[in-house]
Amino acid sequence: MAGSERTVVWFRRDLRIDDNPALASAARDGAVLPVFIWCPADEGQFYPGRCSRWWLKQSLPHLSQSLESLGCPLVLIRAESTLEALLRCIDSVGATRLVYNHLYDPVSLVRDDKIKKELSALGISIQSFNGDLLYEPWEIYDDSGLAFTTFNMYWEKCMELPIDASPSLAPWKLVPVPGLESVRSCSVDDLGLESSKDEESSNALLMRAWSPGWRNAEKMLEEFVSHGLLEYSKHGMKVEGATTSLLSPYLHFGEVSVRKVYQLVRMQQIKWENEGTSEAEESIHFFMRSIGLREYSRYLCFNFPFTHEKSLLGNLKHYPWKVDEERFKSWRQGMTGYPLVDAGMRELWATGWTHNRIRVIISSFAVKFLLIPWTWGMKYFWDVLLDADLESDILGWQYISGSLPDGHELSRLDNPEVQGQKYDPDGVYVRTWIPELARMPTEWIHHPWDAPSCILEVAGVELGFNYPKPIVDLHIARECLDDSISTMWQLDTAEKLAELDGEVVEDNLSNIKTFDIPKVVLRETSPCALPIDQRVPHASSKDHNLKSKVLKASNRSSICVDMIRSSKMEATSSVANSPVSRKRSFCETAFHVPSYSSSAEVHSHIQDHGGSLVGPSRYLLQEAGRNYVDEWSI
């Protein structure tokens, strides 16, 4: 034994033996006490969903068996307070040191900071390590020392820096701390990760498709690098089948390290270069961008910790989101009347998984067609995805909603029919998840509402009865989106006028209450069985307080007169009759459209607008990172 230190190793989302810097450090310095603490109270509104908790329940015994084979079992603790549980462990074995690997989501950042301060004040040595990233968020800044706000600039900077991609070796032996028997450990069942018999029966379906655990993660990685990586770039055009690496849940739970992924991919790249396999270059490029996006999601959360509840771009705080519970329910249940969207939502409900491209399509539909608050969609993804990852979901939903400087244009509206023909040209994916349309000819599968009545009759489809009509027509969605953007800019101008009177304007999202998505229960039936009803969020009665508050300054500008008229509309009413041409002319002539040429300019807007980015046409930054979230998961 290299030292006599007694160290508590705090496992979180680093459930592996190999390349675990916290575990390796503790093993080098003396005796160890490996601990995993399950504290639901610490998770708050981001309590993990059913599929995510199922994965955790399978992974912990796998880790425990590996640790026990090295000489030291994993202590499992269910606690009301993580801090108190750690203190009890430290006191029970006389430990003088706590080690753990970094996490970067908003919940963990606050908790870890509190624990570090409390234990340091008690004389406990605290040491944390990078076990999750190639680059720490505080290592990458521009020449002015400011955080990057576009992915391409960030990733280009990363590529200029050296990467320490050599994974740390797994310890060959662990020495348990004296007094280990005095620490009370519970079973994995006692953690309460499956809260009902219904969840247990539903989770049995997941075991058929997935094998959690760090050794299985390494097998999956090796399989992908050997057989899937070469065709990775082509798979972006296919939404059916296992066409991605399927590594994202393993990476989220830290069952495989990103350093190991990078190392194996680079070794394969060198091998292909030596063999002259030129077609591999594009796939390597796309996969490394996926790794980069995962890095960037942590980078954004660390440098802009408000992004789980506020848009990065400050002008979005005036966006008139529609607090429409019925539309939100139709979207969740896969009953929007747009086949590709509905197929994606039903697959998500049934399996906790969808292809990257489908994630982009269904999230874009929610925020652009239905004008549902992006925070609702993000929370729903968190609750149902098997690979739910808060940082990645924040990045994805902010990007899709136009909340990032290099995200989708706020006015962008993708046609689900066109996307269906592009990504599911034969209708295989839609037929798999929507049995109502199983007999529809391929010609009409993505737009059944246009099919002749005789075709619908033969296919057994009765629109509005066994399959819904489109929840909103494309041209109506276009006009509603344009109207919302126009209203946003009018409110943005009114806020500037109101500020002259010293008024403070709230973010529209702050008036939308948070909510709980119910636990998902799956029936062992066809993959497209419709979901049972769900609870939906409640609209705040103060949804329009912001508008009335801002309008006090309306007498200063004729612009505000128009804005007053438009602001009297109900949040869920149709705005199809608004003159689109007038709105576009208004937006083009009434506002100065700035552009950001550097991070410094972007950050100056953050400081001027209470911590968020702002500016009516940050669209000029689109070219810096267009379409990068097409690789939502790895």
Lowest mean pLDDT among 7-11, 579-583, 627-631: 579-583
Do the Cβ atoms of 356 and 393 come closer than 8 Å? Answer: no
Q: Residue 203 and residue 208: Cα distance in Å, rounded? A: 9
Q: Residue 178 and residue 542: Cα distance in Å, rounded? A: 58
Structure confidence by residue, pLDDT tens digits, 337-363: 999 999 999 999 989 999 989 999 999
Taking residues 55-75, report their average pLDDT. Answer: 96
Q: Compute the chain's Rg from CA coordinates.
A: 26
Q: Is 96 annotated as a binding residue?
A: no
Q: Is 312 annotated as a binding residue?
A: no
Enumerate the H helices of 279-389 as residue ranges. 280-303, 325-332, 339-351, 356-364, 374-384
> DSSP assignment of 557-591, as one string?
-HHHHHHHHHHTS-TTS--TTS-HHHHHHHHHHHS
Q: Domain 210-303, what fold?
A: 1.25.40
Q: Residue 506 and residue 495: Cα distance in Å, rounded? A: 10
pLDDT-derived band at 179 (thresholds 50, 70, 90) equals: confident
**DSSP-derived secondary structure letter, 313:** B
- pLDDT reported for residue 618: 32
Q: Is 232 annotated as a binding residue?
A: yes
Taking residues 160-180, report their average pLDDT. Answer: 86
Reduced to 3 states (helix: H, G, I; strand: E, B; else coil), residue 447 is coil
Q: Higher pLDDT residue, 236 or 99? A: 99
Q: Residue 446 and residue 458: Cα distance in Å, rounded? A: 17
CATH topology agreement for domains 1-132 and 210-303: no
Sorted by sequence, the CB contacts under 8 Å of residue 63 that are 6+ apart come out as: 11, 15, 16, 17, 36, 74, 213, 214
Q: What share of the chain has pLDDT > 90, as a percent?
A: 64
Taking residues 172-182, report their average pLDDT. Answer: 91
Do the Cβ atoms of 505 and 498 come closer than 8 Å? Answer: yes
Beta bridge partners of residue 11, listed in sequence order: 36
Backbone angles phi, psi at 8, to 5 degrees: -90, 125
Structure confidence by residue, pLDDT tens digits, 533-576: 333 333 333 333 433 333 333 333 332 323 223 333 333 333 33
Taking residues 285-305, report their average pLDDT. Answer: 95
- pLDDT reported for residue 190: 94
pLDDT-derived band at 276 (thresholds 50, 70, 90) equals: confident
- pLDDT reported for residue 626: 37
Q: Is 141 annotated as a binding residue?
A: no
Reduced to 3 states (helix: H, G, I; strand: E, B; else coil), residue 99 is strand
- pLDDT reported for residue 517: 38
Q: Is 247 annotated as a binding residue?
A: yes
- Where are the chain's structural domains? 1-132, 210-303, 325-477
Structure confidence by residue, pLDDT tens digits, 482-510: 999 999 999 988 888 877 766 555 666 66
In the chain, what is the straight-line distance between the N-terminal and C-terminal CA atoms, in Å?
39
pTM recorded for the entire structure: 0.81
Using CA atoms in the order 12, 357, 210, 533, what is the torsion angle rounded to 10 degrees? 90
Reduced to 3 states (helix: H, G, I; strand: E, B; else coil), residue 633 is coil
Question: Which own/partner contact pairs does 523-529 have at CB distance under 8 Å and 24+ positions apart?
Answer: 523/202, 524/201, 524/204, 524/205, 526/435, 527/346, 527/347, 527/350, 527/351, 527/432, 527/433, 528/346, 528/350, 528/432, 528/433, 528/434, 528/435, 529/350
- pLDDT reported for residue 141: 95
Structure confidence by residue, pLDDT tens digits, 565-602: 333 333 333 333 333 333 333 333 333 333 444 555 54
Q: Is 168 annotated as a binding residue?
A: no
Q: Residue 349 and residue 526: Cα distance in Å, rounded? A: 13
- pLDDT reported for residue 111: 94
Please determine, for residue 631, whether its predicted confidence score (pLDDT) is greater than 80.
no
- Spatial CA neighbour of 565 closest among 494, 461, 509, 463: 494
Q: Domain 1-132, what fold?
A: Rossmann fold (3.40.50)
Q: Residue 205 and residue 529: Cα distance in Å, rounded? A: 14
Reduced to 3 states (helix: H, G, I; strand: E, B; else coil), residue 453 is helix
Backbone angles phi, psi at 128, to 5 degrees: -120, 155
Q: Is 142 annotated as a binding residue?
A: no
Please determine, for residue 75, whether its predicted confidence score (pLDDT) is greater than 70.
yes
Please determine, for residue 197, whether its predicted confidence score (pLDDT) is greater than 60.
yes
Lowest mean pLDDT among 172-176, 206-210, 423-427, 558-562: 558-562
> DSSP assignment of 401-440, as one string?
TT-STTSS-TT----HHHHHHHH-TT-HHHHHH-GGGTTS
- pLDDT reported for residue 321: 93
Average pLDDT, the chain: 81
Lowest mean pLDDT among 28-37, 123-132, 278-287, 606-615: 606-615
Q: Is 245 annotated as a binding residue?
A: yes
Q: What is the 3-state secondary structure (H, E, C) of 466-515?
A: CECCCCCCHHHHHHHHHHHHHHHHHHHHHHHHHHCCCCCCCCHHHHCCCC
Q: Higher pLDDT residue, 544 or 92? A: 92
Q: Is 151 annotated as a binding residue?
A: no
pLDDT-derived band at 512 (thresholds 50, 70, 90) equals: low
Taking residues 260-271, report their average pLDDT. Answer: 94
Q: Higher pLDDT residue, 551 or 403? A: 403
Please determine, for residue 424, whether its predicted confidence score (pLDDT) is greater than 90.
yes
The string over 469-486, giving b where at least 16 C-beta atoms fall within 10 Å of a residue's C-beta and e elsewhere, is: ebbbeeeebbbbbbbbbb
- CATH superfamily for 325-477 is DNA Cyclobutane Dipyrimidine Photolyase, subunit A, domain 3 (1.10.579.10)
Q: Is 195 annotated as a binding residue?
A: no
Distances from the Cα of 211 to the Cαs of 63, 131, 243, 438, in angstroms? Answer: 13, 22, 17, 31
